[in-house]
Amino acid sequence: MKIRLVIITEIISPYRIPLFNALACREEVDLHVIFLGETDPKLREWHVYKEEIRFSFQVLSSWRYRIGRYNALLNAGLWSALNISEPQVIVCGGYSYLASWEALLWARQRKVPFLLWSESNQHDQRRRHAFVELLKRTFLRRCNGFVVPGRSAHEYVRAHQVDERTIFTAPNAVDNSLFANAAAVARKNPAQYRERLQLPQRYLLFVGRLVREKGVVELLSAYGRLDCEIRQNIGLVIVGDGPCRSQMQKLAQSFSSGRVVFSGFVHRECLGAYYGLAEVLILPTYTDTWGMVVNEAMACGLPIILSMAAGCSTDLIRENWNGVLIGPRNVDHLESAMTRVAKEPQLWRSMGANSAKHIRDYSPEVWAVSIERAVQAAVSRS
């Protein structure tokens, strides 16, 4: 008999849909997903791909408020939605919303196993706030189990004196074939795509929000410090938008040589071409729970220059095999890695091939199997 599983998560993220579709195909799970909102237009410009959804779901009524740096989300109807869906297990993405606490209370009253889907890691900047840490410790003590994407998140949860047997790893994943196929198409018609997207012949690539926490200012500073000859031969393409864009454009204009392209926000279906024609993906973030763009780039066969602060760094990158790890805020490390890309293209191409091999173990199907095991274990313990 199938186990009725309800997943509570914030918005209909495009990279989550393939995961939930794969989970809905599992024989032991009857899946229903409750979204706290459809999207977050102030932070993300994602298209909502409802036509791709192959699982039962609902979107709650919601109201968003900005309080300083924080994003408050209020919902109505969660209690009744849980009453109607009658879950045997709840997997809740995060603890920072009132809806998460409401779901936890509902589960405890009915003795329904409650699993926290946690991506926090030791580099998460939210750790610095004592009140946030107190809330999290209180929440964690009341959970029956935990789902984490990889080693960094596992260590973070374990540091809160959680029983090792209650932690399950479900590796973060994207639709690898979607990105790989798009990259392959671009590589078959490189001149056409370079002209259409206004891309340099060779370029380093950044994909993400243009905010300081992503290390974007350091990225541009490191590019500006490269030898003029290197900059003349290899450009820098920035895909994404955000509050740092104007500052970055002014900095780029000060360079005596080289080419920096600001492509703005790009929807998922077009990203494969940017990955497919790039030399390397660079993500010099200060703090990132995972870094899904790394999955996307690896699916397209790219090597990675990645900050050690990214949650995926310990799982996805093997030093000098499929990429290079750098210290956050370390412009010298970044400049050195960029120089190596320019001077050793053959080595980096071989690292890109290794990326494509490694990311096969991070698929929606693997994630779904892992969630199924966690749900079965939770029911057995209860």
Whether 126 has a pLDDT exceeding 60, the answer reads no
Average pLDDT, the chain: 94
Identify the bridge partners of residue 30 per DSSP, sorted by sequence position.
Answer: 4
Query: In this predicted structure, what is the pLDDT of residue 102?
Result: 98
Q: What percent of the chain has pLDDT over 70?
A: 97
**pLDDT confidence of residue 43:** 67
Q: Is the pLDDT of residue 7 over 60?
A: yes
Measured in whole angstroms, how far is the alpha carbon of residue 6 from the centre of its chain?
22
Structure tokens at 228: 């003029």
pLDDT at 127 (0 to 100): 52
Please report the pLDDT score of residue 72 as a whole number: 80
Tell me: pLDDT of 46 over 90.
Answer: no
Share of the chain above pLDDT 90, in %: 86
pLDDT tens digits for 16-27?
999 999 999 999
Q: Where are the alpha helices (DSSP H) in the chain?
A: 17-24, 78-85, 98-110, 130-141, 151-158, 176-188, 190-197, 216-224, 228-233, 245-253, 268-277, 292-299, 313-316, 331-343, 345-358, 364-381
Domain annotation for the chain: domains and CATH numbers: 3-173+363-377 (3.40.50.2000), 176-361 (3.40.50.2000)
Q: In the predicted model, is pLDDT for residue 170 greater than 90?
A: yes
pLDDT (0 to 100) of residue 128: 59
CA angle in degrees (0–180, nearest 5) for 223-225-227 = 95
Which of 278, 253, 258, 255 lies closest to 266, judged by CA? 278
Residue 41 has pLDDT above 80, yes or no: no
Compute the average pLDDT of residues 318-345: 96
How many alpha carbons lie under 13 Å from residue 184 in its C-beta half-sphere?
8
What value does the mean pLDDT take over residues 313-330?
Answer: 96
pLDDT of residue 271: 97
Q: What is the tens place of the pLDDT at every residue in 196-208?
A: 999 999 999 999 9
**Per-residue model confidence as pLDDT tens digits over 76-103:** 999 999 999 999 999 999 898 999 999 9
Tens digit of pLDDT for each residue in 236-287?
Answer: 999 999 999 999 999 999 998 899 999 999 999 999 999 999 999 999 999 9
Whether residue 136 is predicted with pLDDT greater than 90 in this model: the reply is no
Q: What is the pTM of this model?
A: 0.94
The tokens for 341 are 């890309």
pLDDT band at 68 (very low <50, low <70, confident <90, very high): low
Interval 117-130 mean pLDDT:
74
In this prediction, residue 77 carries a pLDDT of: 96
